[in-house]
Amino acid sequence: MLDAADYRAMFRVLEAVEQLDTAERFAATLVDWLAREFGWRSLVFQLSPTDLSDFRAGRVSLRTVRFTSNARPAVIDEMVERWGDHHPLGPGVGVGLTRRSVVAASELSTDSDEAVRHYFDSFVHPRGVGDMLHAAADAGARGGLGLCVYADNGPRERAVLGKLSKMLVPFLRQHPAPAGPGDGAALTDRETLVARLVAEGHSNQEIALQLGISLGTVKKHLSRALAKTASASRTQLAFRLARRVGPQ
């Protein structure tokens, strides 16, 4: 099923995460190397033990957990906006992960679950999102990872993801658990201002004009705000900003 090239690719992924000193860059490094070695777009969730249990049970909230993705920003923003509190695939994926190491979205029934059917009809099919494979890496008291990969539901893809999710566990156990979304460095005044304007729905160009700064400077402040709040999208940033600073 897997050939020597597949195993070499997996080992290169493991070598990349092995070089990390802490878990802070774990998800981002994994996302980068899955794309580099397998051409996958993915979402990687960094989860506390409690959040990992919620992920396995299909209760994880996209608005609150830390995740990194290289999927199209518009796709992530829409997903967080529409299903940030409860993803329709969550329960089915949770049940599936109790029985096997990898669960594909295409395996879930759309006949008996109207929410799942609506998700596919209104989001997956029109946007050409494709199939998504789910797996979890459980490192016990260290928490773990939730792995969501946009890929074909083929034997090779399932085998690679299933094996990698197990191989990553020892590396997760070596690193301290990452700080929660609200525990990062404080935003500067300018980063907070840019983030607030983003939360109000302004584009980068509009923010640049309003503040009298360059588009590149807006992008720099926004990038830092996203990193400090562990946000993967503008929508998630808006939600977390409201929790961090409250109304002014």
- Answering whether pTM is above 0.75, one says no
Please name the residues in contact with 139: beta carbons below 8 A apart, sequence gap of 6 or more. 169, 172, 173
Rounded (to 5) percent helix, strand, coil in the chain: 55, 10, 35
The percent of residues in the chain predicted with pLDDT above 90, rounded, is: 31
Q: pLDDT, tens digit, for every residue of 80-90?
A: 888 888 888 98
Reduced to 3 states (helix: H, G, I; strand: E, B; else coil), residue 168 is: coil
Report the pLDDT averaged over residues 221-246: 76
Q: In what order do the strands lie in the sheet with 41-47?
A: 66-69, 41-47, 144-150, 132-138, 103-104
User: Which CATH number among 3.40.50.2300, 1.10.3720.10, 3.30.450.80, 3.30.160.40 corresponds to the domain 4-174?
Assistant: 3.30.450.80
Q: Is the CATH number 3.90.1150.10 carried by domain 189-244? A: no
Any idea where the domains of the chain sit in the sequence?
4-174, 189-244
